[in-house]
Structure 1
């Protein structure tokens, strides 16, 4: 077979045709719904392989893959923050695979793979931050927040949403970011103080900024690209890169260990790393930075080079023990506090 290059789609069509029409792929997707749908449908068009796609947040998907360990039902897990993908790799829930597409990828994508024994790989990156609704901010006579610690001011009580870190990779990244920026004691104190101002912990990581766009909350803590999407949709949102610095994600993809459709899973994996597949993000207003060096990054995407990013320790905070420990501590010391 020819080396996988720009003729990738044609090669996949030939593979699909040679294997018959009964091929199928079960895809677990942890990106935004529209992006999940276009990835599934475009892969079907490119290969003739039927895709059964389920969209859940990354924390929920990790829990599902873990629960199905003895009898895997999914083939590929695409999207969502890297930390739960790394935990899945550590716990032996995902399959080692070295794609022939790797030479086309940014170094940070390959580093993600190497840190996990090639059981996952980076597909996009994005910085953590928040957005606020300009109209609600003015109506409530609130000061414009520019830093993480601004969100602790008492006047923001009841005005902030974030996701639950048990279900959301975005929120776990927030928790791990505070611990890394401020130290564990001060980081957890930050989360406790922030808790006093939270009006709701959502299941999905992008839900808080969608609520802010609709005027249901003033501030939503999210990855900045999700806030940009609300701006582009016409909602009165201002996007903030916090002054102290911030963490970031490497959105990842993994093949589930024991996948029933392993050949199809590898075909999807290779296709999803191509520039053509990653350019589909532009069609659904997904403003992450893609991992293929030949893929296009929207000019509206947050410029990571201009944002003060911390040296996020993906290996440590994506480890099973550390992730479980921090989530348990958050459950016991933060979520139980009165609001």
Structure 2
């Protein structure tokens, strides 16, 4: 597994070739963005300044964006879907909701990003990676005299009753990654037993995957289950938040990008696609206080980013858990057995 990700620790090892020059363009582009708003906006501004193409951007969670693209399939309104966990991108690719495109930038990407493209028959591509974990408010821990959690198993202890927040996996790619991670880590029966036990300690299922990190940072919740980079963002901003990589091991995401099938501005969408794979575009993340690991070999990895080469990662099966059948089945099971389960 870590051999597959060894390149994550090597930013700048290979020099980047220049992106095919994008001369000033006419026209528009509609981007569906599924990272945080603070990263979406500077991406759009930088692209507009570089190309002259006017961008209309909508920000939603990964699950919401997938649902919107599916609902709009007969008359697509978006052109490019940028960011968010890879599982819904893979599902969209399987359902023919996205376009095949082999960017000339593929040669500059790390192996895990290229593998994402290959598994989707070039209907999506990896743009960043990040490991699942949680953020813990250390101030609240001290006040309540609770031992610091270090493992997934700690979060189902009685002392964390109503102190844990996580997103709903139907709307959040982060939370679906957690669901799929538990199934792969524990086996399906034990995973659902765990999720039902955790349910008793959940104070809220949010729409957005990053929201629990903000809740833990502000003291609204003691623990927020998120991708580790989202907790890092809050800690770097000064919140009393400790980032935990669970002792049992954890899953990870390959944040992805796709061209929407039937895009009305397809030529401009391809210009965005190629540009978004350059070091220049990927390094905007750190300036926006986003601490994912970029997919371009020559993009600088933010110093505060979690070190994935030193993280105990499971061998996450993106092909299986990104498939339409498996994703739909697990979400239905979660709705039936976990979300509606009693909390007492």
TM over 0.5: yes
Give the unaligned 5+ runs of structure 1.
none
- Superimposed CA distance per residue, residues 285-338 of structure 1 (whole angstroms, 9 cap, x where no aligned partner): 110000000100011100001110000000000000000000000000000012
8 Å CA contact 2:137–2:222 kept in 1: the answer is yes
Aligned to 1:13: 23
Does the residue aligned with 2:272 lie in a helix, a strand or coil? helix
**Residue 249 of structure 1: aligned partner:** 253
Provide Cα deviations, 1:52-97, integer angstroms capped at 9, x if missing partner. Answer: 0000000000000000000000000000000000000000000000
Tell me the residue number matched to 1:292. Answer: 296
User: Following TM superposition, by how much is the alpha carbon of 1:272 offset from its aligned partner in structure 2, in angstroms?
Assistant: 0.2
Q: Which residue of 1 aligns with 2:235?
A: 231
2: CA distance, partners of 1:33 / 1:47: 21
Q: Which residue pairs with 2:4 in the alignment?
A: none
Separation (CA, whole Å) in 2 of partners of 1:106 and 1:307: 18
Partner of 2:115: 111
Which stretch of structure 1 is more off in the superposition, 247-256 or 30-39?
30-39
Structure 1 residue 13 displacement after superposition: 2.4
Task: Supply the distance in 2 between the matched residues of 1:7 and 1:119 (Cα, whole angstroms).
Answer: 20
Q: d(CA) in 2 for partners of 1:24 and 1:34?
A: 22
State the alpha-carbon separation in 1 of the partners of residues 284 and 158 from structure 2. 42
Match of 1:37 among 35, 41, 44: 41
Residue number in structure 2 paired with 1:215: 219
Structure 1 residue corresponding to 2:284, chosen from 275, 280, 287: 280
Task: Name which structure has the greater RCO, CA cutoff 8 Å, separation 6+.
Answer: 2
Partner of residue 143, structure 1: 147
Task: Report if the CA contact (8 A) 2:30-2:57 is conserved.
Answer: yes
Conserved 8 A contact 2:19-2:275: no
Q: CA deviation at 1:5?
A: 3.9
User: Is the 2:129–2:253 contact (alpha carbons within 8 Å) kept by the matching residues of 1?
Assistant: yes
Which string of whole-angstrom CA distances, capped at 9 and with x for unpartnered residues, describes residues 138-185 of structure 1?
112211000000001011000000000000000000000000000000
1:196 aligns with 2:206: no
Residue in structure 2 matching 1:133, options 137, 146, 154: 137
CA distance in 2, matches of 1:229, 1:63: 28
**2-side partners of 1:189 and 1:40: how far apart?**
43
Q: CA deviation at 1:7?
A: 5.2
* Inter-partner Cα distance in structure 2 for 1:173 and 1:142: 27
1:7–1:59 Cα change, 3 Å = closer
Distance 1:75 1:149 in 2: 42
TM-score, with normalisation over the residues of structure 1? 0.96
For 1:7 and 1:67, how far apart are their aligned partners in 2? Answer: 34
CA apart distance, 1:6: 2.0
- Residue in structure 2 matched with residue 74 of structure 1 by the alignment: 78
How far residue 12 of structure 1 moved from its aligned partner, in angstroms, is: 1.1
Q: CA RMSD in A?
A: 0.9
Distance in 2, Cα, partners of 1:55 & 1:142: 37
Give yes or no for the alignment of 1:52 onto 2:76: no
Q: Partner residue of 2:10?
A: none
Equivalent of residue 188 in structure 2, options 184, 189, 205: 184
Q: Which stretches of structure 1, 4 residues or longer, exceed 4 Å deviation after superposition?
A: none
Partner of 1:90: 94
Q: Tell me if 1:101 matches 2:111.
A: no
